[in-house]
Chain A
Amino acid sequence: MAKCSVANASIFIRRRFLPFSAVMCHSLPSTYSSPLSVAMTMTMTSSSIYCRPRFPISPLTRLPRFPNSSSSFTTIASSQASGDAGKGGEFPGRVGFLGLGIMGSPMALNLLKAGCDVTVWNRTKSKCNHLIDLGAKYEPSPAEVASSCDIDVACGTNGAVKGMGSGKGYVDVSTVDGATSKLISKHIRDTGASFLEAPVSGSKKPAEDGQLIFLTAGDASLYEIASPLLDIMGKSRFYLGEVGNGAAMKLVVNMIMGSMMASFSEGLLLSEKVGLDPNVLIEVISQGAISAPMFSVKGPSMVKATYPTAFPLKHQQKDLRLALGLAESVTQSIPVAAAANELYKVAKSYGLSDQDFSAVIEALRAKLQH
């Protein structure tokens, strides 16, 4: 377990779920005047509409299998003085967590267990209690814990951007499209601070188990500094170069996943229709070259026509749409992904947006619309 020890650094991890693809701003508490300040923000939004921004923000992608629930923030700001500062693998700073939803709560818990000094905030205070019981501090507002930027307000008076500056860092653990990420990056870097996009692959269980995969891009120096924290929350991390690359990698992975789920759905349905037991298909697949955790985890519930939401279908469709956009921008034809996208759209038209993305199997059953 990595020890979060200290000195003079702040990390802000923010996770949030808003109806608009915007990031909220709160002013940095004056106590956070350390030379190194790292803000990690995780924004999850489900919006498929444009917010009314001053900037053209495109709909944000979602983390895979992020549940459709809280609009909460997770900020981590760590500043705990001890003599161990500077040892390899340790993060020198105090961690504040804004947002204790399905992802934020287990992530904050992992940091707490690793010995980090964690301060939490959540819109519904009661959700903080289990972490407070374990030693987390609590602040009554995000502004008092850390700062996160709402692009709407980013240029406003109380933005996190205002609190950023040379020597500080901003790590955005949200899943956004490349354009949004680049926009945030520009504003952060304009203050002299460094920026790292770090979307994750993995949902609730990997978050709980500290098994997330970080797909980072941006300032390499910030990547080095934040790595100990990423190592607590995840099992692997990648540094992919310039801002936009993390977002793109996330889209490619989710595109393959969406196509695989659609194909698997075809297989289950076809087996059923020709008189085979779909459960036998699942077992046979699990024995061979195409055995994947997703099939054995989701298959049984799909056979029972239940789709408990781990990754909402509407977000999988959004990711496919964005992947198609990316493909068009680099002149690559991807017909299988395009066909899969159509199926997810049909599933949405059947009212399955908030079900797990495995509900795409329903799109293969023709329904008369009235």
Chain B
Amino acid sequence: MEVGFLGLGIMGKAMAVNLLRHGYGVTVWNRTLSKCQELVQQGASVGETPAAVINKCKYTIAMLSDPSAALSVVFDKDGVLEQICDGKGYIDMSTVDAETSSKISEAITKKGGYFLEAPVSGSKKPAEDGQLVILAAGEKVLYDEMVPAFDVLGKKSFFLGEVGNGAKLKLVVNMIMGSMMNALSEGLCLADRSGLSQQTLLDVLDLGAIANPMFKLKGPAMIKGSYPPAFPLKHQQKDMRLALALGDENAVSMPIAAASNEAFKKARSLGLGDLDFSAVFEAVKSAKDSDSA
């Protein structure tokens, strides 16, 4: 099976490699074309533009950083729309808001193409290990055809109905994740300032009802002040912002998410946007009263 792949960032590169390793023919494109070379060494072909990739492949997956990149790849010159047509499928696995996804879906289907949104839950390592959780919505026929590829990329996929549902669910999950990261950060700070061992707190947490892989994986590095980017903070903050907008549209109260978003914004203002989202710990740490020693 031949697929196109647009976007070779942290996630896209790992996912494309996975497909190549499982015998897929992959044609890649990246805004910075040089990033394609590593994939070429693993057997990929290169498309000079998104349109070129669409032209060559029946199915094309996109994995882009944010709504504006997702729109740009579709609507700009040499974009997807120039070549999408009957019989071709476009699968956008970026995390965007429902409105962006709907816009893209509408444009694709107008030209005769099939569209599926399929944002993922999971970051770099799950992407490398083919352990993503895929939240698909849109064209069921296209979903069914993509299942073999999804089984390579992930451990579980869901079909959630109409376009927008996948996007929304992803935002809700990441909203909870962002708040949990804030709660952990506050706990680590409070433990430290109360004279407790932060590692012991992590050990205690890992034994009980609120034990979770994220705390276990990220906690030790946070204590050491190390934040290698698996999921960049700027993207987490984008997701919090989009989730808050979703709540806003529907008049849903979300004070915890709002407070968490503030911490992520502060972290961005401290220049931590490209670090892992666990770097919000630095923003929480700096929230001391002014008269502290």
Contacts and interface: CB of A to CB of B under 8 A. Distances in A.
Contacts, number: 225
A267 B168 CA distance: 11
Contacts of B126: 289
Given A238-B203, A331-B292, A333-B287, A288 B255 contact: no
Interface stretch (B7-15, B47-55, B69-77, B182-190): B182-190
A225 interface: no
Interface of A: 64, 201-202, 213, 215, 235-236, 238, 240-241, 245, 248-249, 252-253, 255-257, 259-260, 262-264, 266-267, 269-271, 273-276, 280-281, 283-285, 287-294, 297, 323, 326-327, 330-340, 342-343, 364, 366
Given A269-B252, A270-B243, A326 B196 contact: no
B196 A249 contact: yes
Interface stretch (B85-93, B100-108, B143-151, B152-160): B152-160
Interface stretch (B19-27, B31-39, B173-181, B267-275): B173-181
A267 B173 contact: yes
A114 B121 CA distance: 45
B196 A257 contact: no
A252 B194 contact: yes
B200 interface: yes
Contact of B169 (A235, A264, A284, A340): A284
Contacts of B169: 271, 276, 280-281, 284
Nearest to A247: B194
Contacts of B168: 271, 274-276
A332 to B, nearest CB: 5
B254 A270 contact: yes
Nearest to B258: A339
A255 B172 contact: no
A262 B256 contact: yes
A238 B196 contact: no
A284 B121 contact: yes
A248 B198 CA distance: 12
Contacts of A255: 183, 186-187, 190
B257 interface: yes
B256 A343 contact: yes
Nearest to B187: A256
Contacts of B184: 256
Nearest to B120: A288
A342 B254 CA distance: 12
A287 B214 CA distance: 12
7 contacts: A249-B191, A253-B210, A263-B256, A269-B252, A281-B172, A281-B173, A343-B255
Interface of B: 121-123, 126, 133, 135, 155-156, 158, 160, 165, 168-169, 172-173, 175-177, 179-180, 182-184, 186-187, 189-191, 193-197, 200-201, 203-205, 207-214, 217, 243, 246-247, 250, 252-260, 262-263, 284, 287-289, 291-292
A340 B255 CA distance: 8
A22 to B, nearest CB: 26
Given A263-B180, A336-B186, 16 more contacts: A236-B207, A238-B203, A240-B196, A248-B195, A263-B257, A271-B168, A275-B165, A276-B172, A287-B133, A293-B208, A323-B190, A326-B194, A330-B193, A332-B193, A335-B262, A336-B183
Nearest to A291: B212
Nearest to B154: A287
B129 to A, nearest CB: 13
B246 A270 contact: yes
Contact of B190 (A64, A280, A330, A366): A330
Interface class of chain B by DSSP: helix
A142 to B, nearest CB: 31
Contacts of A257: 209-210
B121 A287 contact: yes
A263 B179 CA distance: 6
Contacts of A245: 194-196
B214 A252 contact: no
A273 B250 contact: yes
Contact of A252 (B158, B201, B260): B201
A366 B173 contact: no
Contact of B186 (A248, A263, A294, A337): A337
A248 B230 CA distance: 32
A260 B260 CA distance: 12
Contact of A280 (B158, B247, B289): B158
A327 B289 CA distance: 10
B211 A330 contact: no
Q: Which 10 A-B pairs have the closest CB atoms?
A: A263-B179, A259-B183, A333-B287, A330-B193, A331-B289, A331-B292, A292-B212, A289-B214, A294-B209, A334-B186
A265 B211 CA distance: 18
A284 B255 contact: no
A290 B278 CA distance: 13
A248 B243 CA distance: 33
Contacts of B179: 259-260, 262-263, 266, 336
Contacts of A253: 187, 201, 204-205, 208, 210
A270 B175 contact: yes
A240 B197 CA distance: 8
A310 to B, nearest CB: 10
B188 to A, nearest CB: 9
A336 B182 contact: yes
Contacts of B196: 240, 245, 248-249, 252
Contacts of B243: 270
A263 B247 CA distance: 13
Nearest to B262: A335
A290 B173 contact: yes
Most buried by B among A333, A342, A366: A333
Given A249-B191, A259-B186, A332 B250 contact: no
